[in-house]
Amino acid sequence: MRKENNDRMGWEENVRKVTPYVPGEQPENKKVIKLNTNECPYPPAPGIRKLAGSIDYSRLRLYPDTEAKRLSEALCGYYHIMPEQLFTGIGSDDVLAMSFLTFFNSGKPVLFPDITYSFYDVWAGLFRIPYQQKKLDEKFRIVKEDYMTENGGIVIPNPNAPTGVLEGVDVLEEIVAANPGSVVIIDEAYVDFGGESCLKLIDRYENLLVVRTFSKSRAMAGLRIGFAMGSPKLIHYLKDAKFSFNSYTMNMLSVELGAEAVRDEKYFQDTIKKIVATRERVKKELLGMGFVFPDSKGNFIFAAHPEVPAKKIFEELKVRGIYVRYWEKPRIDNYLRITVGTDEEMDILINNLRSIMKNKPE
């Protein structure tokens, strides 16, 4: 028995232990109002349902196209880039993880904000990459000088999550230009909701990688489609790593249906306009109740109330069947991230918040 315990402890010493990313709760009760994971409240483009019904499912016995050609052609046409400037993957998480693995190997610390997407430090830990989290200022903005020091790479989400704060392309270009020896990743998961993209810079800077997702503005979180755009050299290295890891990453349905989503530009723009209009209306309602928040350019609002603790509001909303996101972390433990849902969902949220504010739980 003692030898058996010693053997077990021996192999456990060599296990790669990480603290995993904790995603937003996915409640089994479908009647709740789910405003906690920044999913799109509207369905994907209508052509997707029609196409899904006509796909030859016998093709599922075959391996998918490793180059995701139909999706790649649609994206290259939409963004006016060359195929050698595009990399596709299973959601932007897959694209970002592969980028960490490929580019951040110098032994120098990778830099990213202290308040940001909480998967960055998880990947750094998983791949044994040293990192430093640079403190956002009191308005949740990056301090550009913090990213002009020796580093092994830089990751900046724009707009940031969970704050929704948008940095100007001019500021980000300064950072890219100041770091020719490092790969700079701009994570643009939310840029469609009101930001200017850094895409126009990829022809100017060989070290810039711009990452996007279909999970937010294109309403396809369930199919897991992500992509990156950058210089041919960056993309070449990413593909070499990808094909050494898993050649068949994107399934056939994601490729076909993703391409159809790109083709329906009117639906895409109409969906974004509805979400932005709802977001701006809800900002006014929240301000009227005394909430404070940075000016979000994402599909969510990062709000705090000076008189009522965020945790109490979070718990009370959950009892009422409304899910928002709360983190018990330094600097943001009095904030709630509220996804922008449909107008009907947001009206229910507002009415419940008014009720909670009226009773003001301690």
State what percent of residues in the chain have pLDDT above 90: 85
Residue 21: predicted pLDDT = 80
| pLDDT over threshold 80, residue 272 | yes
pLDDT of residue 361: 57
> CATH says 61-264 is which class?
alpha beta
Q: Which position has the token pair 């093709």?
A: 59
The CATH code of domain 2-43+266-359 reads: 3.90.1150.10
pLDDT attached to residue 13? 84
110, pLDDT greater than 60: yes
Give the integer Cα–Cα distance in Å for 359 and 42. 33
- Residue 333 dihedral angles phi and psi, to the nearest 5°: -80, 5
Name every residue whose Cβ is closer than 8 Å to that of residue 154 and which is 6 or more positions away in sequence: 110, 111, 112, 147, 175, 179, 182, 183, 184, 185
Question: Percent of the chain beyond pLDDT 70?
Answer: 97
In angstroms, rounded to a whole number, what is the distance separating the alpha carbons of residues 100 and 124? 7
pLDDT at 338 over 60: yes
Structure tokens at 344: 């009907």
pLDDT at residue 2, rounded to an integer: 54
Mean pLDDT of 111-122: 96
How high is the pLDDT of residue 79? 98
Q: What is the pLDDT of residues 322-336, one digit of tens each?
A: 999 999 999 999 999
Omega prior to 44 cis, within 30 of 0: no
User: pLDDT for 48-80, tens place per residue?
Assistant: 999 988 988 898 899 999 899 999 999 999 999
| pLDDT at 84 exceeding the cut of 80 | yes
**Quick one: pLDDT at residue 362?**
58
Residue 245: which pLDDT band, with cuts at 50, 70 and 90?
Answer: confident
pLDDT digits (tens, 9 = 90+) for 275-315: 999 999 999 999 999 999 999 999 999 999 999 999 999 99
Contacts of 64 (CB under 8 A, 6+ apart): 248, 250, 251, 252, 255
Q: In Å, what is the CA distance from 334 to each residue of 224, 275, 304?
A: 31, 25, 6
pLDDT of residue 9: 64
Q: Rounded CA gap, 93 and 171, in Å?
A: 25
Pick 281 or 9 by higher pLDDT.
281
Query: How would residue 188 be classed by pLDDT, with cut points 50, 70 and 90?
Result: very high
Q: Where are the domains of the chain?
A: 2-43+266-359, 61-264
Classified as helix, coil or strand, 199 is helix
